[in-house]
Structure formats: structure tokens, C-alpha cells
Structure 1
């Protein structure tokens, strides 16, 4: 087995900053949403995706993929949102295996109440902290990471 290529000081600094920032930002966003409207950050993202979808509904498998979540994890979250009256499920008449999550009017109202505070905190924690150039660099770099992982290239180096 080949010796690993250890991180140098600058690479370690970038990695540790990424891990810490991601954890802290997610924790703060989650807490703000729970305090303000009683939902988690993941539940908020589910409502956002459904609100943006055609007819305010998405197939559960597609929603799980869009959120980079497992189907079982999404099923649990949809159940919680359904109990709160924010989402309903419907089956597909042409494919008995397909289940759709549908945003309710109450879910839309929740999203409208949650969005202003959420966006203000996103700005405070990330957007307004970085210069436009830094923001573009972060978006480009992390976009590349996401693309490679979605393409199944994690662990390989593109030439």
C-alpha cells in the first residue's frame, strides 16, 4: 500500500477551516430555525425544494437526491413535516413504487415565515463576511468538490 500524501500546513489549515465553518454554520442555522419557527435546517431545505418544484411536489427519490440525503432519512423528515401539516404524500397512479412529497398551504406559510430570518443569518454568518472575490472562490471550489463527488470521481485526480 502506498504511503499517504499527508496534508501540508496550508492544506491542513484549509481543511480545518472548512470542517469548523461547516459545522458552526449548520449548527447556528439549525438553532435559529428551531427557535424562530420550530423546524430544522434540513426540514427548511425540504420546504424550499418543494416550493420551487413544479406543482410544489417532488418524487421522494428525487428529493432525497437533491438534498444529498438517504431515502430513509428523508422518509423520517417527511413524516415529521406531515405530522405538522406542512407536507403531504401522494402516490403516483402510473408507478405504484413512486411516492411524491407535496407542499401544503401551511408548509408554504411556514416557509414564508422562516425565510427572512434564515436569509438574514446566512448573510451574517457567510455572505457578508467574505469579499465578492472570496465568495466566488468558495463557490467555485466547493462547486468543484460537489461535482467530482456526484460524478463518482472522489478519490481520483482529474488531469
Structure 2
């Protein structure tokens, strides 16, 4: 492993901090920025269309406080991660119609892809919980012959939403 340096936007530095905190919670221990980038890169390997990732809005990061020096990234990462960042730096301009992109943008897109992977799987669970709670509420509060029809309608809507997300 060697050192890798890049200049990041405030938004990207905050996203890195958010993902670092996420990975710390996930593994139950300390995660350095370099480790975070290594894990995010591994989590981004699912991406087949980087244009879609680029077009996705960056997740909200306002709650993460960073120092001005956090924009100057110097971390130890594996050669695979270095090469992956460089490959994305070469690939992205062709996909988005620009002459070039910075290393910081490549890192941002890797972090976004990791964020999407790790948060998208939670959305269907949250939706199912929400629908389950509403169906329980209907079972207790609604006292009519239409109750089974209402439950069936909610089941259909729930399944349509989950299908759209997957």
C-alpha cells in the first residue's frame, strides 16, 4: 500500500466523513479515511453505468463538520483502489461529455456509489415496516366490511413501490 493524495471539494470531504462514520458503525471499530476509501471502492464495484451514478444527486452531507485540511486527502490505499480511481478518471469524461475530471470527482462518484449500495437496501425494509404499521392500524381502527379490500390495496401499492426500487 502506498500513499494517495488528492484535493477534495467540501462536499466530497463531507461525504467521505459520512461514509467513514457509516463503516465504523458497520464494523464496530475505527476506520481511517484510507480504509474508508478502500471499503467504498469495494462497495462501488457493482456499478455498470457510471453515468447513472454521476447523474444521482450527492447525498446530504451538511451534518458532517470537517476542517479545511480535510479537503487535502493523503491516505494509504491499495493499488487496486489507486488504479480504480485512475480508470474512473479516464472513463467519466467520455460518459458525461467533458474533456476531463479531477481525481476528487472520481473519488466523489466512488463514495456516492458506495452510499447508494449501502442505503438502497434499507429503503425496502423501511417501506415494508411503514406498510405493516399502517395495516395494523387499519386492523385496529377500521371496523367495516371493506377492511380486507383496504389491506389488499395497501399490499398492492407496497409491492409496486418495492418493484420500482429494485
Q: With structure 1 as the length reference, what TM-score do the two structures score?
A: 0.25
Bigger relative contact order, structure 1 or 2, given CA contacts below 8 A and separation 6+?
2
The structure with the largest strand share of the pair is: 1
Who wins on radius of gyration, i.e. which is larger?
Answer: 2
Q: With structure 2 as the length reference, what TM-score do the two structures score?
A: 0.24
